[in-house]
Structures are given as C-alpha cells and as structure tokens.
Amino acid sequence: MHGFAYQNGSLHCEGIDLQSLAEEHGTPLYVYSAGTIRDHFTRLDQAMTGVDHEVAYAVKANSNLSVLRLLAGLDAGFDIVSGGELFRVIEAGGNPAKCTFAGVGKTRDEIEYALKQGIYSFNVESEEELRYLNTVAAELDLVAPAAVRVNPNVDAKTHKYISTGKSENKFGVDFEAIEDLYARAAAELPHVKLRGLQMHIGSQLTSIQPFVEAVEKVTPLVLTLKAKHGIEFWSIGGGIGIVYHDSLAAGSIDWWDAKSEQDRPLTLTQYGATLVPRLKDLGLKILLEPGRAIVGNAGVLLTRCLYEKQGTAKTFKIVDAGMNDLIRPALYEGHHEIVPLKEPAGERKLVDVVGPICESGDFFCQNRELPDFQPGDTIALMSSGAYGFVMASNYNTRPLPAEILVDGTTAQVVRKRQTLEDIIAAER
Ligand SMILES: *Cc1c(COP(=O)(O)O)cnc(C)c1O
C-alpha cells in the first residue's frame, strides 16, 4: 500500500496535489511519501514480533539524507555497501553501531573508516577479504566484527541481473565451504571476531518460497556456527519484492483484499508470519536488509510530455525524463506503471513512452496501451522510490532532478535540482 491516489480527478501524494508540485518545481521530479516509508518500515518491524530482530534498511535503494533521517528516527539499522553510504547515515543521525557493511570490493580506506566508526559488522564475501580485514584491523590495533555471506545456492526466480544466491553469482562463499572457513578464521585471524552469518539471495522476490527454502537450508549451518564459534546474529538479507504492474491500484487495501491467497503478491505481513516460526527459537538476533520493500512504492518520478511523434510503425510520446533519471527499464527491463496526473476519461492508445537521450534503450515502455495524454501533460512513473534517483547520472549533461518529500500536507525540497554550473564545477 502507498500514499498515491486520485483525489478530485488529480493524482495526489498524501495531501499534496502532484500537479502543483510539478508546476512549482519543474520536471523531471522525484516525489516521495514519508507516510508510506514509515508505514512499510513499521509493518515489517511488527511482522517480525516474537523474534529478536533488527530491520537494517538497505541504503543503496534510496540514500537521500531526509529519507535516512526519517528511518533513523524510527530507530532503524542500516545496511551499507560503501564508505560513502556510511558517511550519509552518520550525517543523517543514524547509529554506526547499527550498520552492517556489505559488498564484494571494500577498499582499505572504507574498512578503516568503518572500523573507526564502530560499525556492527563487516559482511564479508570471500576468505581473501576476511584476511585483509584482519590485516587492516591489526594495524589499527582493533578487532573487526564480521560475518561471512553464505551463498545458499537457491534459485530466487527473479531477473538474472538481480539474482545473487546461485553458485554462478559473484556474491558470497559457497555453502559447503563456510564451516571450514570459520574454523580457519578462528584459528588464524585474531583481529577478526566472527559475529554472525549473512545471506541475500536476490531482489524483487514476489513469492515467499525461495526465502523459506534458503532459511531452511541454512538453519543447520547457522546453529553449528553458533555452537562452535558463538555467533550471535543471522542476517537473512533483503529482496522482498513490490508490485510494479498494478502499482496505483495496489496503493489501496481493496486491491489486496480482492485477490485470492495464491494470486496475492508477497506482503510484509506474510513474510513475517511465515518466517517468524522458523526463526524464533534459534537463539540468534535476526537481521533483515530490505531496501525496495521500504521505499519502492513510496516514490514516483514526474515527467512532462514534450511531443507526440507519429512514426510509420509506432506512436512515440516523448517526455522530459530519460534513462539518466530512471535507468531501471534499460538496465533490467524494469516495469513502471505510467499514470497521467489528470485522471483519464477513457481514450487509450498504443504507444512507446521515450526520453530525450541519444540511446535506443531510452524508453519507459514499449507497445503499451495507455491513457492518451497530450504534450504539456505531466505523468507519473509509479514505483520509482527504489533504485531510481540513486542510479541517476549526468549522461548527456542533464542535471540531476530535484527530490521532494511529502508528509501529510507539507512538501519539502530534500534535494535541489542540479544546475548546469554544478555539473561543470569540478572541471574548471
Ligand atoms: C541490495 C541489497 C539489499 C537490498 O535489496 P532489496 O531487494 O532492495 O531489498 C540487501 N542486502 C544486500 C547485501 C544487498 O546487496
């Protein structure tokens, strides 16, 4: 569910008319709903009641300082993948002692910075990295808290670019190799304290089944590590999927209620209800690392239609946002529902919605039947709160869009639109 819906014929975010935001701040424009972010976080946190747990928001999904501040205010933990993300979390008032640091390629600078800040755990992805962590910690005369990422070799059944839990992916250490690795580390690496075990099987999972499979497969391993090495936490990763295709309708509880049990996509409540019984008696702290599930449906990208171009084979609606602003369709065939801000009356048309960038991959949809919006009209690309702005670039020397955070009836600019001067400043 989320805070975007038509009110009096005009698409709103909570109590704010999106058309008025587009007019005041221009387009392309990212708009986030604070209420939705809070609701998703709280829902997941409550769904895990009965288990000692922590929800560590995956910062890479949306790292705007105001979004992080909002989550820090809810006492969230944070899963980071770079020194830069740790810097943002600290700037936003997040607690480093609740940060876990993931990623296959941490540099010396990043390790030193995170060690000095006292993060909760380095989630390590290879024996080589674990040994290097030991070396850096020894030089600083510190002990690095660590967990190894196990690759459970289960099929997350998601897009190949966002599947991470199979043996052929670059992530983690093979399931079969973990026990020996912990034994070697305990014997040979005095500046590493093995504190937990981590896994993350992929992103945008819309069924509970791969999560269950992974949890059941890894449970005996995690209990062995607890008995032998005294580990205290198990991070079961992120990856909870969201609704992209019926994004607007799925903002309302009615859409969910009308679906049968089998047809209903995974909810945060179902995730908790299914996993809590399997996790509650392990005597371990359970960490969750959701990104998309917290912010994905809490954001839209507003863009204005510039032209309608009648090609010989197709009709193109050309808009002022491009793949540099939202790359998901080009990068992994991501689907975003397209919704005019003015509630459509009826006429629909088969179109491609494309951006101004000089790339054939610069499209938001192809051959999709859409309400027949016109040049001058503004549309919303739904479900753009995760992996949207954070992946934006200056390709074609286009300034990064502004970001707005709506909370009830207030709307705040949480990132100014970049200027052309900003773009070239470092080249002068
Ligand atoms: C990206 C990532 C996440 C978050 O994934 P979502 O699909 O956005 O929930 C969690 N953990 C790790 C290690 C990641 O790399």
The CB of 237 under 6 Å from ligand 1? The reply is: yes
Q: Is residue 199 part of a domain?
A: yes
Residue 96: what pLDDT? Answer: 98
Residue where a domain terminates, one of 271, 296, 321: 296
CB contact burial 289-322 (16+ within 10 A = b; e otherwise): bbbbbbbbbbbbbbbbbeeeeeeeeeebbbbbbb
Please check whether residues 64 and 185 belong to one and the same domain: yes
Residue 40: what pLDDT? Answer: 98
Q: Label residue 390 exposed, middle or buried (CB < 10 Å: 0-12, 13-18, 19+).
A: middle
Residue 170: what pLDDT? Answer: 73
The CB of 290 under 6 Å from ligand 1? The reply is: yes
Long-range contact set of residues 68-76: C-beta below 8 Å, sequence gap at least 24: 68/92, 68/94, 69/93, 70/34, 70/37, 70/38, 70/405, 71/37, 71/41, 71/294, 74/38, 74/41, 74/42, 74/45, 76/41
Q: 372 C-alpha to center of ligand 1: Å?
A: 37
Mean predicted confidence (pLDDT) in 174-180: 96
Q: 288 C-alpha to center of ligand 1: Å?
A: 9
CA end-to-end span of the chain, whole Å? 47
Residue 160: what pLDDT? Answer: 66
Please check whether residues 250 and 317 belong to one and the same domain: no
Please check whether residues 161 and 88 belong to one and the same domain: yes
Please check whether residues 356 and 383 belong to one and the same domain: yes
Please check whether residues 184 and 302 belong to one and the same domain: no
Q: Is residue 425 part of a domain?
A: no
Q: Is residue 360 part of a domain?
A: yes
For residue 153, the SS3 value is coil
Q: Check pLDDT > 90 for residue 182.
A: yes
Mean predicted confidence (pLDDT) in 342-354: 94
Tokens read off for 132? 């290097």
Angstrom distances, CA of residue 204 to CA of 124, 127, 242, 265, 383: 23, 28, 7, 11, 12
pLDDT band at 383 (very low <50, low <70, confident <90, very high): very high
The CB of 129 under 6 Å from ligand 1? The reply is: no
Q: Which CATH number belongs to the domain containing residue 311 in this structure?
A: 2.40.37.10
Please check whether residues 132 and 179 belong to one and the same domain: yes
Q: Is residue 220 part of a domain?
A: yes
Per-residue pLDDT tens digits for 106-123? 999 999 999 999 999 999
157-171, 217-231, 285-299: which has the minimum mean pLDDT? 157-171
Q: Check pLDDT > 90 for residue 143.
A: yes
The CB of 55 under 6 Å from ligand 1? The reply is: no
User: What H or E segment, with its residue span, contains residue 89?
Assistant: helix 83-91
- List all residues 6 or more positions away from 341 whose beta carbon is below 8 Å from its beta carbon: 10, 11, 18, 19, 22, 302, 377, 378, 379, 380
Please check whether residues 103 and 62 belong to one and the same domain: yes
Residue 171: what pLDDT? Answer: 83
Per-residue pLDDT tens digits for 80-91? 999 999 999 999
Please check whether residues 240 and 316 belong to one and the same domain: no
The CB of 149 under 6 Å from ligand 1? The reply is: no
pLDDT band at 219 (very low <50, low <70, confident <90, very high): very high
Residue with tokens 């038509």: 6
Q: Report whether 196 contacts 159 (CB < 8 A).
A: no
pLDDT band at 164 (very low <50, low <70, confident <90, very high): low
Q: Which atom of ligand 1 is nearest to the CA of 205?
A: 7
Q: Report whether 80 contacts 110 (CB < 8 A).
A: no
Q: Is residue 355 part of a domain?
A: yes
Please check whether residues 117 and 208 belong to one and the same domain: yes
CB contact burial 117-129 (16+ within 10 A = b; e otherwise): bebbbbbbbbbeb
Q: Is residue 132 part of a domain?
A: yes
pLDDT band at 168 (very low <50, low <70, confident <90, very high): low
Q: Check pLDDT > 80 for residue 161.
A: no
Residue 158: what pLDDT? Answer: 66
Q: Is residue 83 part of a domain?
A: yes
292 is in an annotated binding site: yes
The CB of 152 under 6 Å from ligand 1? The reply is: no
155-169, 175-189, 368-382: which has the minimum mean pLDDT? 155-169
The CB of 320 under 6 Å from ligand 1? The reply is: no
Q: 238 C-alpha to center of ligand 1: Å?
A: 5
399 is in an annotated binding site: no
Average pLDDT, the chain: 96
Q: 258 C-alpha to center of ligand 1: Å?
A: 30
| 358 assigned to active site | yes
State the catalytic residue, choosing from 13, 99, 305, 358: 358
Q: 172 C-alpha to center of ligand 1: Å?
A: 13
Q: Is residue 213 part of a domain?
A: yes
Q: Check pLDDT > 70 for residue 398.
A: yes
Residue 155: what pLDDT? Answer: 79
**DSSP letters of 165-198?**
-STTSSSSEEGGGHHHHHHHHHHH-TTEEEEEEE
408 is in an annotated binding site: no
239 is in an annotated binding site: yes
Please check whether residues 206 and 248 belong to one and the same domain: yes
For 257, how many CA atoms within 13 A lie in the half-sphere containing its CB?
4
**DSSP letters of 101-133?**
E--S---HHHHHHHHHHT-SEEEE-SHHHHHHH
How many domains does the structure of the chain reveal?
A: 2
Q: 200 C-alpha to center of ligand 1: Å?
A: 7
- List all residues 6 or more positions away from 253 whose beta carbon is below 8 Å from its beta carbon: 1
Paired residues of 192 in beta bridges: 144
Looking at residue 406, its amino acid is V
The CB of 329 under 6 Å from ligand 1? The reply is: no
Q: Which atom of ligand 1 is nearest to the CA of 386?
A: 8
291 is in an annotated binding site: yes
Q: Which atom of ligand 1 is nearest to the CA of 240?
A: 9
32 is in an annotated binding site: no
Q: Is the dihedral of CA 16, 18, 22, 27 positive or negative?
A: positive
Residue 165: what pLDDT? Answer: 63
pLDDT band at 169 (very low <50, low <70, confident <90, very high): confident
Tokens read off for 355? 């951006």
Please check whether residues 308 and 269 belong to one and the same domain: no
Q: Check pLDDT > 90 for residue 54.
A: yes
Q: Check pLDDT > 90 for residue 163.
A: no
Residue where a domain terminates, one of 296, 328, 362: 296
Residue where a domain terminates, one of 261, 296, 331: 296
Per-residue pLDDT tens digits for 251-279? 999 999 999 988 999 999 999 999 999 99
Domain, as residue range, for 69: 34-296
Please check whether residues 10 and 157 belong to one and the same domain: no
Q: Which CATH number belongs to the domain containing residue 211 in this structure?
A: 3.20.20.10
Mean predicted confidence (pLDDT) in 21-25: 98
Mean predicted confidence (pLDDT) in 28-35: 98
